[in-house]
Chains A and B, each alone.
Chain A
Amino acid sequence: MARCSQNLIDSQAVLEDYFLDNESLPVEEMVVGAVNPLGKMDCSEDSNLMEQGPGKPCGHQIPEKASRIHEEEDTKEEEEEEEEKEENELGDPAVLSAIHGAQRGHKGSPRLKAPSGLGISPVSLHFLCQTMDYLSPISFRSTFPSASSPARHFGPQLPSPDPSLFYSPPASWPPRFSLPSHRTQLHPQHQRILQKQQQEQQSGHKHQSPRVGKLWSQKPDPYAGLMNQREKDWVIKVQMVQLQSENPELDDYYYQEYYQKLERKQADEELFGRRGRMESPKLVTPYIQKAEDYESVVRIEGSLGQVAVSTCFGPRRAIDAVSHGSQEQDSAIYNQKLQVLYRIEKMFLQLLKLEENQKGMLAKPYFYELQRKQLEKIYQALRTGDQDNSEEAANGFLQVLSVRKGKVLVARLLLLLPQDQAVHLVLSITSHLPFLIRRDTADQALCMLFKPMGKCINLLAFSELLQGLQGLMVLQPGSQERPITVVLQNQFGISLLYSLLSHGEQLVSLNCSLKQHSSSDLAAWTDMVVLIAWEISHMSTASLAEPLVVPSNLLSLFCRYVDKQIVHQLEARMDYAPVATDLTCLGKLSCPPPTYQSVRAEVEEGKIH
């Protein structure tokens, strides 16, 4: 029984510590004591006790009562202790009378008299009960009075406990005695071993006298309990504080996914008729107010450096080597860049929220409306920045696109935008392609825009397509060459061009009755194609970039409008097998089957990506 008494002494020490700490507090009425012979505590009963007890301070008189403080042990030992306790309780008449006393006290009598002469203030018991509140079911053990009160104060100075810091019990609290296996995924081998061990222990226990204590293999450990329950709770509290988050889906994505998967699996199992489904508890991080808000780096006005503050929340934070004093005279460019980055970040957050909502709830019309509004907001932010001028707006947009993250943003946004807005963005991109290409030399990230833009392009109307292409052919003022030369030398540019042409070809050839499009449009189209073909053929193969996708209908498109010599050159550059040209070319005005082409394009795309 050495261990038992050790635990009792510890619990006593805890109480005394608290009592010493809180002498100034008014001594409340009777309380707690949740004396529960069956080893299960009803926490609600506790709180009721506290509320109902008349608030008569009984200063000098320290009421005596039997209270049981349970030390949190590991599961196996717990079980043994529970059973031990039960034996104790049943065997001790003093305790039994205390139980009745406490229960009667609950009805409102001012004081509880208990046989044990333990000097415990009800306040400390109150506190303890709150402490234990979340550890339901909790059992209490009687603390027997010892002659002296050894002021054994283990461990470091504990922070003064603040009851408000302790959280409410988690949503689903499983009985503590069961295996950990249904809560966490243990290796099946491990699970079996634990199960066997538990069974052995339970069966072994029934045959042995509870007074003996542990199984023969575990001699009573005189040094156990160095870390008392309060300290353990404190560590857990600190760990919990670190875990809390406003947005668990974001911060703790993997655990949330895992838990949902587990729940789904259990739901399935239940569907199959397996009764006794174990409720897996979820990690619920309650909102615990951090004791103090601290700034890890303190800057004193007028000083040159920074002072790092270290608290129990975090050791000293690294101080920046750069002084913050002389930032004002930095150039406007730096600020502007920051502005752009800041805008990108804001829009990105909005986009992420939008995507999350989409993932979460789908077909509800209300949410769809909400999403549309959010999308509109992002789009506006992208387009206008903070100016109304369309030139400035385009500028803002291009600045966003100059940053790698901005490209990612636009790529993801394009998939969500309604068509007209998406088309608008695509056209802006195509008309400013040389500029973007120049800005992209460092990142080489334009290609991530290709796929979403490709999807958009396939939905373009003919006039819009023409608009896009014309942007490429405009001769820039002050330079001899057309933008198309730059475009052709860039992988993204050339792929975009090819997809535009391919789509145009599809539009033209699908609507074989040429009355669909206006003649001026068609003329413009023809001119464009010829010009582009000419440009491609006159560019050296070396400088031509390799496109991401080569649509199959291009060569036939060119065949129709340009002469054979140029076609041969094109074919050489566009990497087509000569056999194909003989079949499709030579002036045949055929409408190639669209389905075959789309399949081929997809296959090629699939090969490349």
Chain B
Amino acid sequence: MNYMPGTASLIEDIDKKHLVLLRDGRTLIGYLRSIDQFANLVLHQTVERIHVGKKYGDIPRGIFVVRGENVVLLGEIDLEKESDTPLQQVSIEEILEEQRVEQQTKQEAERLKVQALKERGLSIPRADTLDEY
């Protein structure tokens, strides 16, 4: 904003802690170190945060270089308010387990739904056969 009023730029966000949501659904948290004109990001001390219900777990990942087109959104994290969350942090193993369980239940529900529809002669096209958007 300093340089170009009326525009949005990532320049002021450099060296600040950010939360980045990727198109594949991953959530990364890291220090934004470098950008370019395509909004490719270099994240430092990155942590991948997995959320399941009220719990979350962090997997340290190191340095990430993210191609700009894969970013859905990103936002600065207020360091003071970072710990001020109702969510409960758990260990990596636990959160991965939780995630697996969640995936399983989802798949099960989906399967039942598809089954029920099939019985009635209907079908819903699967998401992976559709266009990404």
Contacts and interface: CB of A to CB of B under 8 A. Distances in A.
Nearest to B10: A235
B31 interface: yes
A310 interface: no
A239 interface: yes
Contact of A235 (B2, B11, B33, B42): B11
B95 to A, nearest CB: 27
Interface stretch (A116-124, A176-184, A449-457): A176-184
A311 to B, nearest CB: 12
A221 B45 CA distance: 12
Given A180-B1, A227-B33, A235-B35, A283 B7 contact: yes
Interface residues of A, number: 31
Contacts of B35: 227, 235
Nearest to A282: B5
15 contacts: A74-B12, A180-B1, A183-B1, A183-B5, A183-B6, A184-B1, A217-B79, A221-B31, A223-B33, A231-B34, A232-B14, A235-B36, A259-B6, A281-B5, A282-B6
B23 to A, nearest CB: 19
B37 interface: yes
A227 B34 contact: yes
A81 to B, nearest CB: 13
Nearest to B35: A235
Contacts of A155: 34
Contacts of A176: 2
Contact of A224 (B3, B5, B9, B15): B15
Contact of A217 (B9, B42, B80): B80
Contact of A280 (B5, B31, B42): B5
Interface string B23-35: 0000000010111
Given A155-B34, A231-B34, A238-B37, A223 B44 contact: yes
B130 interface: no
Interface residues of B, number: 24
Smallest CB-CB A-B distances: 4 pairs = A238-B37, A226-B33, A283-B6, A281-B5
Nearest to A315: B38
A334 interface: no
A225 B15 contact: yes
B4 interface: yes
Nearest to B80: A217
A236 interface: yes
Given A223-B33, A235-B37, A258 B6 contact: yes
Given A223-B31, A255-B6, A232 B11 contact: yes
Contacts of B9: 236, 239
Contacts of B79: 217-218
Interface of A: 74-75, 155, 176, 180, 183-184, 217-218, 221, 223-227, 231-232, 235-236, 238-240, 242-243, 255, 258-259, 280-283
Contacts of B44: 223, 226
A242 B7 CA distance: 12
A551 to B, nearest CB: 49
Contacts of B4: 236, 239-240, 243, 283
B11 A236 contact: yes
Given A236-B9, A239-B9, A227 B14 contact: yes
A226 B7 contact: no
A81 B4 CA distance: 22
Nearest to A180: B1
A283 B31 CA distance: 29
A221 B4 CA distance: 27
Pick the most buried of A232, A258, A259: most chain B CB atoms within 10 A of its CB: A232
A280 B1 CA distance: 12
Given A183-B6, A217-B80, A243-B7, 8 more contacts: A184-B5, A223-B44, A223-B45, A232-B11, A236-B11, A242-B37, A280-B5, A283-B4
A193 to B, nearest CB: 9
Contacts of B11: 232, 235-236
A162 B5 CA distance: 24
Quick one: which of B2, B15, B33, B36 has the most chain A CB within 10 A? Answer: B2
A368 to B, nearest CB: 34
A225 B14 CA distance: 8
Contacts of B3: 236
A469 to B, nearest CB: 54
A239 B15 contact: no
A236 B1 CA distance: 11
Contact of B5 (A218, A236, A242, A283): A283
A235 B68 CA distance: 14
A75 B15 CA distance: 13
Contacts of A184: 1, 5-6
Interface string B63-102: 0000000000000000110000000000000000000000
A223 B37 CA distance: 22
A282 B7 CA distance: 10
Given A74-B12, A232-B14, A226 B34 contact: yes
Contacts of A258: 6
Contact of B37 (A180, A224, A239, A255): A239
A303 B3 CA distance: 47
A470 B16 CA distance: 77
A69 B6 CA distance: 28
Nearest to A219: B79
Contact of A75 (B2, B5, B16, B37): B2
